[in-house]
Chain A
Amino acid sequence: MKKDNEIRIAGFGGQGIILAGYIIGKAAAIYDDKFSTLIQSFGPEARGSSCAAQVIISESQILYPYIVKPNIAMLMSKDAYERFGGELTDGDIMLIEKDLVQPKKNGKKISVYAIPATRLAEEMGRKIVTNIIMVGFFSAITQITSYEATRKAVESSVPPGTQELNLKAFETGYNYGKKLLSSSEKNVA
């Protein structure tokens, strides 16, 4: 049996963390025909500075609903990195917002991929699409959700009238990821 993918997505409020988790989960469950469960953080932590979502993607029904040990982390703030960065172990993948997270070496063999998502979004004129750029980046790097499925999930999850902008953001993140992979410009933290 293939091991489940346990994905931690974290950042601060307003970055669209939950929507990013929703789109990734939806891409897997609806368009890639796998099983996925999304759990988001509620309560004080969801309203303050930090915000987190957890997505499990599996080939079979998910029985235990929470992440036990993430193998992928998408971290979009320094606080998120400090809180969750340590959960990863050898062979895991970390995706980070390049300008907001400065990873430290910790001796583990983790593949770290960085993207200046906020800056790219600002260059598009809309900072609000930072999360969608990260989603595109996630799909390109991890290939856990396919290009087609993730693109469809973006299209069907964003408010009407914003599809074009969001799909452009998705492509931006996806292409950045593909380019990064071909230049193998990854760091091992």
Chain B
Amino acid sequence: MKADPAGVLTGVHYLDGDKACAEGGLAAGCRFFAGYPITPSTEVAERVSERFPYMGGMFIQMEDELASMAAILGGSWAGVKSMTVTSGPGFSLMMENIGLGAMLETPCVVVNVQRGGPSTGLPTLPGQADMMQARWGSHGDYRLIALSPNSPQECFDLTITAFNFSEKYRVPVLFMMDECVGHMTEKVVIPEADKIDLTERRYTKKKPGEYLPYAYGEDLIPDMAKAGDGHFFHVTGLTHDERGYPDMTWEMQEKCVHRLIDKIDKNVDEIFMIEEENMDKAEVVVISYGITSRVALRGIQLAEQAGMKNIGRMRLITVWPFPEKRIRELAKKVKAFVVPEMNYGQMVLEVERCAGGQCKTILVPHGGGTVHKPETIYQAIKEAYK
């Protein structure tokens, strides 16, 4: 399916990441937005609210982030692509209903423009310290997808990808930006609508009365029903059977929850997006994501200028699920992984786990508030070479 031209602002623009993310959502066909303003994400909401009237979208400023998350789940079940946007404190408040979204298998996109935390932290300055919250923030076991853009252009492109993943796998997709990417202005190219591929929601072909909301086939992903097409059904956050009715037995728990895990885990190869460079002879591999991946490349350049040639670079575009298989493969061949991130050690835990002691893993921490100094990353690379 191609994008609806009404939502696509085709052309070459000079946009900040927040506005580019909003444009990505509109191009992806988002027509329902519920949110509560919070720096540094407010520009996304602002842009959506300005543009929605031209394409028949509905924008609601909710009373808080709990309600915002609940509203977009409702919007999605009503058959409209839905998104919300927030930053750390609001992301915390959304956690309960993100879990509900996982349990109900509700396609939607949740944007988190990360700032320094914990608590209200650094409202106007960058952080990358919500990465583990994106993985584990809601209670219970589930799998979601999280993406991390490193430029305003990617804020546009990957928001579309986020919507596509959410429709395909029926999960909330977390779009993990950071303040730096959100507030930096760069060139953003928006293609014509017929160049933008969208994943269509898969609706049931069953007649009303025959439709079971959680019956699934080989791909483990149930079909949805369109509100207004005459289907009467029940969905609940309680462990449920294929009719959607509560069934709180261990057998049903195994069937219901295991599938939520499997539908992502079994499709990891399709969900992984990583960028790699110079891996063939790499002795040291620098792994990073978001704005840090750009600064890390500067650090690598400094190391190369100092004569260290075999430095591989890996950028995580999909951060969750984590590219376990690839890291395990590399761990057998390389001396060390260097992981700069704007926190005191989050994604590095995954790298270390997958490295399994086969090579060194070196964290380059940063508390946020600004980005790493390239020299710091260079020093860590030097250390890794020893």
A residues neighboring B (CB under 8 Å): 22, 25-26, 29-30, 35-40, 42-43, 61-66
Contact = CB atoms under 8 A, between A and B. Distances in A.
A36 B186 contact: yes
Contacts of B186: 29, 35-38, 62
B305 to A, nearest CB: 11
Given A25-B185, A63-B374, A64-B295, 16 more contacts: A29-B186, A30-B12, A30-B13, A35-B186, A35-B187, A36-B186, A37-B185, A38-B14, A38-B184, A38-B186, A39-B184, A40-B185, A42-B39, A43-B124, A61-B294, A63-B295
Contacts of B374: 63-64
Contacts of B183: 39-40, 42
Nearest to A23: B14
A40 B371 CA distance: 15
Taking residues whose C-beta sits less than 8 angstroms from the other chain, chain B's interface range is 20 to 34
B40 A30 contact: no
Contacts of B125: 43
A81 to B, nearest CB: 24
Contacts of A36: 186-187
A51 to B, nearest CB: 14
B298 A42 contact: no
Most buried by B among A25, A26, A64: A64
Interface string B207-246: 0000000000000000000000000000000000000000
Interface of B: 12-14, 16, 39-40, 123-125, 180, 183-187, 291, 294-295, 297-298, 301, 370-371, 374
Contacts of B297: 63
The 4 closest A-B pairs by CB, nearest first: A43-B124, A26-B14, A38-B185, A42-B124
A37 B183 CA distance: 10
Contacts of A37: 184-186
A9 to B, nearest CB: 13
Contacts of A38: 14, 16, 184-186
A116 to B, nearest CB: 29
Contacts of A42: 39-40, 124, 183
Nearest to A36: B186
B371 A65 contact: yes
Contact of A25 (B12, B14, B180): B14
A25 B298 CA distance: 21
Given A30-B12, A43-B123, A66 B185 contact: no
B187 A30 contact: yes
Given A37-B184, A40-B183, A64 B14 contact: no
20 contacts: A25-B14, A26-B14, A29-B14, A30-B12, A30-B13, A30-B187, A35-B186, A37-B185, A39-B180, A39-B185, A42-B39, A42-B124, A61-B294, A63-B295, A63-B297, A63-B301, A65-B180, A65-B291, A65-B294, A65-B371
